Amino acid sequence: MLEPVVVQRAYACMIVLTLGRVCCGQWMFLRESLAVINNVSLELLFPSFDCCGLTYCLFIFANISLLLLRLAFQSLGVVYGDLGTSPHVFYNTFPEEIVDPEDVVGALSLIIYSLTLIPLLKYVFVVCKANDNGQGGTFALYSLLCRHANVKNIPDQHRTDEELTTYSCCTLIHEKSFAAKTKRWLEKDTYRKNALLILVLFGTCNVIGDGILTPAISVLSASGGLKVAHPRMSNGVILVVAVVILVGLFSMQHYGTDKVSWLFAPIVLLWFITIGGIGAYNIWKYGSSVLKAFSPVYIFRYFKRRRRDGWTSLGGIMLSITGTEALFADLAHFPVSAVQLAFTVVVFPCLLLAYSGQAAYLFNKGDHVIDPFYRSIPGCIYWPVFVIATLAAIVASQAAISATYSIVKQALAHGTAVVLVMLVTTVLMTLIMILVWRSHWIIVTLFTGLSLVVECTYFSAVLFKMDQGGWVPLVIASAFLLIMYVWHYGTVKRYELEMHGKVSMAWILGLGPSLGLVRVPGTGLVYTELASGVPHIFSHFITNLPAIHSVLVFVCVKYLPVYTVPEEERFFVKRVGPKNFHMFRCIARYGYKDLHKKDDDFEKKLFDNLFLFVRLESMMEGCSDSEEYSWSEPPSEHSRDGNEWGNTMVSSSVNTTVVSYMNMGQISRSQTEMDELEFLNRCREAGVVHILGNTMVRARKDARFYKRIAIDYIYAFLRKICRENSAIFNVPHESLLNVGQIIYV
């Protein structure tokens, strides 16, 4: 038996580790740590807590700090590359010339407060806290809203989904509160749900559009520094250099974020130290009078002096905060605390020094506005800085690429696209603060009002540059939006028609245990999108074939508004009809970050959970008359689905109650259970056939032309190139049976 002091030290270490997991964003392990700590009285831990125990705690704290520093260092190479590589802000702000040196101070003041209000205050300290268990991006915000309000267009939600570890939903809400009123307002009208979905898709598509343009713009801009040292160099040579760099960049993506971040983090850290140092040098050399830009009074004077030109110049100022949305989308790779630490300690002060140094240089040499960054570099270090700038531009492209990959996995320009994404994030954050955080309306009003004032101001400015290339990201985003919405529309229509055409349980019961056919040895896995009821494709199948398998399992692949579903909670099994029918339903639940590679063990996991269900069901035979129950709640609640009769539903995860019963020896396998398990094993050995419904959606002849184009061409093409469940779950071709039907919408 362990000594009490050893036990105390162990639990003290567990407490410190729990705090560390909170700091580092490891929420998946937090619950188990708290469960251990809650079983121990803190009064028993600390009365005799000696110096040795304190040493243990300090040692663990040191390890946690080192881990946080390591993650913050890695985040520099992925998250902040794009935000810190905009050396041409002043040139885009003053594309012609600098008439009054005081305009430089006004522009610097705009840059300072833009960096403070948007990346620092809004994103790093507010928006990043609205992550979905560490996942950032537009879809992460939408998933949070879907869990706290019924805004999904596909009505496949079930109360058992809320029992998942990663669901994390607060359902207690006062009926007369502002949050309850907002929730009812959103859920009341289908058009509002569609509007919210389109808003999310639009924001996502703008991030993708920005991710497409950023690599080319950043690398080409950095390569242009060659012309400063060699003015006669042709643009063709610069273009070739940029293309070679981009090819090398994209060829590195298959190594993964961890290796790429270790490679790029030293480059970005060196870049920020370099630009910060050059900025400090320029302030010392050309004067510190530009530091008066920290007063917001110079913003007012800037607009008063330049009027319309000052307003349109905000499109150039906007470049100083590009990459901010990628910061939030890249949050999936690093914990929030690491991202906050890296920005406040390294990124923010270095950017302020860099832009202040450029402003000090231009205050004295306004005729060098074409390329103030490269011209302000001391000649002795020009080429080393040029190499670092080029490498930093590559990292900037990596930040955009990583953000685009993250946003696409969840489904996630310059100027126009960036500010539109920020506006979408503001609207979603307003709903998050009301429905999820339950913030006071004054705080919500301040956040929303301040964000909209700043971002709408920038948006009105970039509209003036729409004819100068600002339309390109909008066209890209609109194309992606059209594709996404058509796919969503077709999917919803398929689900609605399948729900409308599902077979009643009374019809199945009327067929008898043999289902009116010959029950041949083997197991049939019938894939369906329905989480309840018998799909119409099944009646279509048994109407045209004279035999059916002895065991039938309706497999529903269901996607939940969570980032992932733990493997032990993946499958949910229940029985369909009486026992002698040998019909089951297995719901495979996935999050938006799951299923990005083949699930080779899907069939094995399914049968393991099916056998586990049969064993657990025998423990609850006294509750078998109830239509639906699970381990987590009493078996008195009945199913609201009238299409299923006599369903028994048991979660595949075994909780502590089951384990305690097993340890006490109170579970006895009945002969019926053993017979059914043996029967299921024999049917599995006889052969497994995967029956997939191949439902084709077609527009009705009287439908409008745009609907026929969307359904018959765009959606049909997307369905054709999309991976089928047979490929995702690695179904052997010799065991695959496709059952086709056509539905008209």
pLDDT > 90? residue 48: no
> Angle at CA 138, nearest 5°, toward 418 and 218?
35
Q: Which residues contact 496 (CB under 8 A, 6 or more apart)?
A: none
pLDDT in tens, 276-307: 999 999 999 998 899 999 999 999 999 999 88
Residue 693's SS3 state is: strand
- Whose tokens are 């259970």? That residue is 673
Reading the block at residue 471, the tokens are 């339309």
Q: What is the mean pLDDT of the chain?
A: 76
Dump pLDDT digits (tens) for 233-270: 666 777 777 777 777 766 666 565 556 556 778 888 88
d(CA 223, CA 233): 11
Looking only at the bridges linking them, the beta strands covering 571-575 and 583-590 are: antiparallel
Instruction: Note the pLDDT of residue 114.
Output: 93
Name 689's bridge partners. Answer: 524
CA torsion sign for 10, 13, 19, 25 is negative
Taking only the tens place, the pLDDT of each residue in 140-187 is 888 888 888 888 877 777 777 877 888 877 666 777 788 888 888 888
- First-to-final CA distance of the chain: 70
pLDDT band at residue 692 under the 50/70/90 scheme? confident
Say which residues have a Cβ less than 8 Å from residue 119's Cβ, sequence separation at least 6: 83, 321, 324, 327, 343, 348
pLDDT given at position 107: 93
Each residue's pLDDT tens digit, 574-603: 988 888 888 899 998 888 877 655 666 888
CB 465 within 8 A of CB 700: no
432 contacts 200 by C-beta, under 8 angstroms: no
> Two tokens at 662?
């097993």
Task: Extract long-range pairs of 122-128: CB within 8 Å, 24+ residues apart.
Answer: 122/447, 122/451, 123/324, 123/327, 123/328, 124/327, 124/339, 124/340, 124/343, 124/344, 125/340, 126/429, 126/447, 127/328, 127/425, 127/429, 128/327, 128/328, 128/331, 128/336, 128/339, 128/340
Structure tokens at 218: 């950043």
pLDDT at 639: 36
Using an 8 Å Cβ cutoff, are 154 and 492 in contact? yes
pLDDT of residue 737: 81
Cα-based distances in Å from 567 to 303, 336, 585 = 57, 25, 18
Q: Which residues contact 309 (CB under 8 A, 6 or more apart)?
A: none
505 vs 577: CA distance, rounded Å? 8
DSSP 593-644: TS-SS--TTHHHHHHHHHHHHHHHHHTTGGGTTSS---TTS-TTPPPS-TT-
**What confidence score (pLDDT) does residue 401 get?**
45
Give the tokens for residue 742: 């056509």
Higher pLDDT, 543 or 661: 543
- pLDDT for position 51: 59
Model confidence pLDDT, tens digit, residues 558-573: 888 888 888 888 899 9
| pTM value surpassing 0.95 | no
The predicted pLDDT at position 356 comes to 94
**How large a percentage of the chain has pLDDT more than 90?**
15
Would you say residue 30 has pLDDT above 90? no
> pLDDT tens digits for 217-238?
666 666 665 665 566 666 677 7
